[in-house]
Structure 1
Amino acid sequence: MLKPHEIERVLAVMAHPDDVDFGAAGTVAQLTDAGVEVTYCLVTDGQAGGFDHSIPRDEMATIRRREQTEAAATVGVSDLYFLGHMDGSVVADLDLRHDISVVIRTVRPQVVITQLPVRDLNSTYGSHPDHIATGEATMAAVYPDARNPFAFPGRPVAELDDWSVDEVWIPFGLEGQGVVDITEQLDRKIEALLCHRSQHRDLAAIEERVRTWWQSIAAEHGLPAGSSAEAFRVVDTR
């Protein structure tokens, strides 16, 4: 797993607003504190999220973009791309691969953070179909699309120089090759999560639950008592 001093730019590609905050906001805060430029790419606007039936879906999209932008700022991120695909309908087709490849070639990251491209039968919520499709499309964009100068002829990505990503980090990695101690960043991670007010009926309960969650990840990986951690599967894509 590359260290912050070895990285200039990171791109996080996630299906919905708040996915990056659950999976990697502590690590993002650590990276931006170290001077790494981090960019977010959100495949959907999260139109199908929330619990308030009175909010029109186009308005929910606007709310969730605003919440994600606010959450990003708490961990030092100001550059966000919203691809505008429909929440609940994401498929890993060539159009999505193209759109993600455009962002990769524009941002030119050494590291891409994205979601697990296969279903984990131990995690119903983590295996949302949009997550799986986003992970698969991102992996295909990393290789071969973004690095292939002949991919998507005649489409916008072909006008950008090709780019090779060094590593892909997948949050909640089962193997846990990349374990990041986020104890000092945990409060900012919580702050980022709480920006997604439209998604949680009980913000205090969410805070209590996630604090316990990330402490358990640290314990599983042998960190000192009281620590918090995020774990990643690290894929070498060089």
Structure 2
Amino acid sequence: VNFLSYRDGELFNTLDVRRDIVRAIRQFKPEMIVTNDPTTYFRANAYINHTDHRTAGAATLDAVFPAAGNRMYFPELLSEGLEPHAPKQVWLTMSNEPNTWVHVNDTIEIKIAALLKHASQVKDPAGLEKRIRERLRRDDWPDEFYAEGFRVIKL
């Protein structure tokens, strides 16, 4: 995880933000990027997606293509030794249009524990855990089978 230290509620899809994301992509050279689906404003009629989440997703997509793999974008990064790199896939979380499901039974407890660490943002820990389990369960699957949906874009 690479934190860019932007303040909560103050993230905007600016040239500086995209440059920071392109810098990270060129530095780490990932084959796959995982980010938020910027098109998700509402989730299951029960959740309004935070503006920072949508903005992070949009800025990341703008950084992935066309900027990260194109030397015409942010040429100053070349002087830092950061050559263009084009990831092969983008996996969007919190999507209303998932096309790929990943079995998460082995990691659901870790996910819940990590989300509960955001104590300043969690007013009802039991309620959050219940919502996570409900979101990761589908009606057509056995009760104790959890899967996380992603919208996968192959580039």
Instruction: Identify the TM-score tier after normalising by the shorter chain.
Output: 0.7 to 0.9
- Distance in 2 (alpha carbons) for counterparts of 1:205 and 1:124: 13
The answer to whether the Cα contact below 8 Å between 1:105 and 1:157 also exists between their aligned partners in 2 is: no
- Higher deviation after alignment, 141-150 or 155-164: 155-164
For 1:142, the equivalent position in structure 2 comes to 64
For 1:167, the equivalent position in structure 2 comes to 89
Is there any run of 5+ residues in structure 2 with no aligned partner, and where?
none
Confirm or deny that 1:94 pairs with 2:15.
Answer: yes
Q: TM-score, normalised by structure 2?
A: 0.86
Confirm or deny that 1:236 pairs with 2:154.
Answer: yes
Q: How many residues of Structure 1 are paired with residues of Structure 2 in the alignment?
A: 154
For 1:10, the equivalent position in structure 2 comes to none
- Aligned residue type for 1:224: P
Q: Secondary structure at the match of 2:73?
A: coil
Instruction: Write the deviation string for residues 177-231 of structure 1: whole angstroms up to 9, x where unpaired.
Output: 110111222112112222222322332332233222322xx33xx4333211110
Once the 2 structures are TM-superposed, how far is the Cα of residue 176 of structure 1 from its aligned partner?
2.0
Once the 2 structures are TM-superposed, how far is the Cα of residue 157 of structure 1 from its aligned partner?
7.5
- Residues 200 and 110 from structure 1, CA distance in 2 versus in 1: closer, same or farther, beyond 3 angstroms? same
- Distance in 2 (alpha carbons) for counterparts of 1:119 and 1:185: 24
Instruction: Write the deviation string for residues 106-144 of structure 1: whole angstroms up to 9, x where unpaired.
Output: 111111011122353456745322222211110011011
Which of 73, 79, 82 aligns to 1:151? It is: 73
The answer to whether the Cα contact below 8 Å between 2:13 and 2:59 also exists between their aligned partners in 1 is: yes
For 2:26, the equivalent position in structure 1 comes to 105
For 1:205, the equivalent position in structure 2 comes to 127
For 1:132, the equivalent position in structure 2 comes to 54
- Aligned residue type for 1:223: W
- Aligned residue type for 1:210: I
Q: Secondary structure at the match of 1:211?
A: helix
- Aligned residue type for 1:85: Y
RMSD value, Cα: 2.2
Instruction: Write the deviation string for residues 84-117 of structure 1: whole angstroms up to 9, x where unpaired.
Output: 1222121111110000001111111111011122
- Aligned residue type for 1:133: T
Q: TM-score, normalised by structure 1?
A: 0.58
Q: Structure 1 runs of 4+ off > 6 angstroms?
A: none
- Aligned residue type for 1:172: M
Which of 108, 118, 124 aligns to 1:186? It is: 108
Is there any run of 5+ residues in structure 1 with no aligned partner, and where?
1-39, 41-80
Larger helix share, 1 or 2: 1
- Residues 117 and 155 from structure 1, CA distance in 2 versus in 1: closer, same or farther, beyond 3 angstroms? same
- Distance in 2 (alpha carbons) for counterparts of 1:225 and 1:149: 49
The answer to whether the Cα contact below 8 Å between 1:91 and 1:133 also exists between their aligned partners in 2 is: yes
